[in-house]
Amino acid sequence: MSTLKLNKSPAATEQKREKPVRPLSPELRDRSKAPPVKKERAAAEPQARDAQAQPARKEKAVRDKKPRAFDGKPEQKERRSPTANDGRRQYNRDQPRPRMAKTDDRPPRPSAPAPAAIDQQPRLSKVMADRGLCSRREADDWIVNGWVKVNGEIIETLGTRIDPAAEIIISAYAKEHQAETVTILLHKPVGYVSGQAEDGYEPAVVLVNPDNQWPEDSSGIHFKRGHLRGLAPAGRLDIDSTGLLVLTQDGRVARKLIGDDSSVEKEYLVRVEGQLSANGLALLNHGLSLDGVQLKPAKVSWQNEDQLRFVLREGRKRQIRRMCELVGLHVVGLKRIRIGSINLGKLPPGQWRYLGEHERF
């Protein structure tokens, strides 16, 4: 195997030797430190990053830029007012943007009434009594028997609270039961109490028996023992007073006569003794108070020299006697002769009769 050797010319060798060798700098000689980066390279790195975002910036600048005619003045940046009216609503950047309202066309769901609102609603029995359907006692009996519907639902729980405008339907059974109720007119004599027995005195209801029924009773109703069940006085009459007393099983009658909003007139004949004060008659008509409560206006006039005629629209305990004492008079006799449109008439003391179907208070 032969070896081929190439001989360089002396001129080329000499030219190479003549080129000077550049010595290394001290920084390059120290290998413990990283080599320094040229200034051109350090400046080029952020420029390269800016170059990547430059297309997006240019595109945004083109969109925002508006052509404007040059007028020889330096260009100034336009500043918008937050209230400028250019067809778009402007917002202040320092304030949070308001939330847009929902554009849901669906009707809002009805919210369930709060517990406090339910507690403030009236009881079913009170609403029935206010509408004149029955008394509250009757309403409780009808509810327990399942004879009452509210908005199509049978209510059997006492104390149920309802909307005052709710629809109430009464069963025919309740109406039949109510049709069997009776109202009795009694001429109460002195010595009987209106309600329950007290201090050894008998209640007036003991006089309601077949033997004491007025022979001239024209109601056509025959006495039954069931007519005594639940029979209660609709109003009071003092033990030492006489006259018309109403006993009833019908809650509607009781409410009309003694309800809080009752305005039925009650007429009395009152025998008095003593000297009436100068303005006593005017005070009896209006201006007196009992137990700190102003009395309703009354109609008081002289029937004769020792008898007054009272027409009242309320019935406080011993009201007429106390009124007379305030003006210097003493009551020695009191008789009730009328309640509403029902007169005592010829009904003898101690006897009674039924309220006829055609009679109303």
- If one counts the domains in the chain, the total is 2
Residue 200: pLDDT band with limits 50, 70, 90: confident
Residue 37 lies in a domain: no
Which residues form the domain of 142? Answer: 115-179
pLDDT in tens, 164-179: 999 999 998 888 877 7
- 320 burial via Cβ count (<10 Å: 0-12, 13-18, 19+): buried
Please give the Cα distance from 59 to 331 (Å, whole number): 109
Pick from 289, 299, 295: nearest CA to 267? 299
Q: What is the pTM of this model?
A: 0.59
pLDDT > 70? residue 323: yes
- C-alpha to C-alpha distance for 288 and 296, rounded to whole angstroms: 9
Residue 255 has pLDDT above 80, yes or no: yes
The CATH number given to whatever domain includes residue 147 is: 3.10.290.10
135, 241, 247: which is closest to 190 by C-alpha?
A: 241
The domain that contains 255 carries what CATH number?
Answer: 3.30.2350.10
Kindly indicate the confidence band of residue 70, based on its pLDDT and cuts at 50, 70 and 90. Answer: very low
Residue 151 in any domain: the answer is yes
The answer as to whether 51 is a domain residue is no
> Is residue 250 located within the same domain as residue 272?
yes
Given 158, 179, 200, the domain boundary residue is 179
Asked whether residue 158 falls in the same domain as residue 202, the answer is no
4 lies in some domain: no
Are 301 and 208 part of one and the same domain? Answer: yes
Residues 170 and 275 in one domain: no
**Quick one: 251 and 174 in the same domain?**
no
DSSP 8-state class, residue 180:
T
Q: Is residue 296 part of a domain?
A: yes
- Residue 70 domain-assigned? no
**Do 213 and 348 meet the contact criterion of CB atoms below 8 Å apart?**
no
Query: What average pLDDT does this structure show over 211-224?
Result: 94
Read off the DSSP letter of residue 5: -
| Together in a domain, 271 and 188 | yes
Please indicate whether residue 238 is annotated as part of the active site. yes
pLDDT of residue 195: 87
| 213 and 346 belong to one structural domain | yes
Concatenating the DSSP letter of every residue in 228-283 gives GTT-EESS---TT-EEEEEEES-HHHHHHHHSTT----EEEEEEEEE---TTHHHH
Cα distance between residue 204 and residue 198, in whole Å:
11
Band of residue 241 on the pLDDT scale cut at 50, 70, 90 = very high
Which residue is catalytic, options 238, 260, 261, 306? 238
The per-residue pLDDT for range 288-307, each reduced to its tens digit, is 999 999 999 999 999 999 99
- Confidence grade of residue 132 (pLDDT, cut at 50, 70, 90): confident
Q: Quickly count: other Cβ atoms within 10 Å of residue 136's Cβ.
A: 17
Which residue pairs, CB below 8 angstroms and at least 24 apart, start in 139-148?
139/251, 142/170, 142/171, 142/174, 142/177, 145/173, 145/174, 146/171, 147/171, 147/173, 147/174, 148/124, 148/174
Distance (Å) of CA 284 to CA 98, 190, 235:
70, 25, 21
Note whether residue 28 is domain-resident: no
* Per-residue pLDDT at 96 exceeds 90: no
DSSP 95: S
